[in-house]
Amino acid sequence: MAMILDNWLAQRAQTCPDRAALIAEGSRLTYEELEAEATAAARRLAAHGVRGGATVTLELPVGAEYVVLLHALMKLGAVAEPLNTRLAAGEREAELERAAPVLAISRPDEVGGPEADLPLLGEHDLDAVQCRVLTSGTSGHPRPIGLTYGNHL
């Protein structure tokens, strides 16, 4: 039987909207602000064709925009695949070919435009893959490893 977790960000936005959710270099977002930005970003991602189970690569420096996009992808049930921003051009192309993302994001402004009006996920199966990260490749080429929602608890 699947274990289900309610969307904790939406819950926190309801219970403590003004409390700091994210403090990053030059940015501070409350739970309410992070929830609103993630929801808007999810709707823009959906307008770009992102749906549940789809892979989206993120090649961005870690910061507020990155966190917003991670939460947006969770709202869609899409799989985030972070790419190291220091990959050589050939390595980057190989990873993009392997990942076969429906969308590759390397700048936050690439996710602008209209918002799609579709239902967003209010809960997650703890066994569902939330992101894929690359192993260090100590015994060969790096391999993607799926991390589930449950792995993040």
- The domain ranges of the chain are 4-123
Q: Could you say which of 3.40.50.980, 3.10.580.10, 2.60.40.720, 3.40.50.720 is the CATH number of the domain covering 4-123?
A: 3.40.50.980
pLDDT(135) > 90 = no
pLDDT at residue number 114: 92
pLDDT(138) > 80 = no
pLDDT digits (tens, 9 = 90+) for 97-134: 999 999 999 998 888 899 999 889 889 899 999 999 98
Round to whole Å and give the CA distance between 128 and 4.
10
- Answer whether 0.85 is exceeded by the pTM: yes
pLDDT at residue number 109: 86
pLDDT digits (tens, 9 = 90+) for 84-107: 999 899 999 999 999 999 999 999
Round to whole Å and give the CA distance between 79 and 101.
9
pLDDT(136) > 90 = no
3-state DSSP assignment of residue 82? strand
pLDDT digits (tens, 9 = 90+) for 2-47: 899 888 899 999 999 999 999 998 899 999 999 999 999 999 999 9
- CA nearest to 51, candidates 18, 28, 75: 75
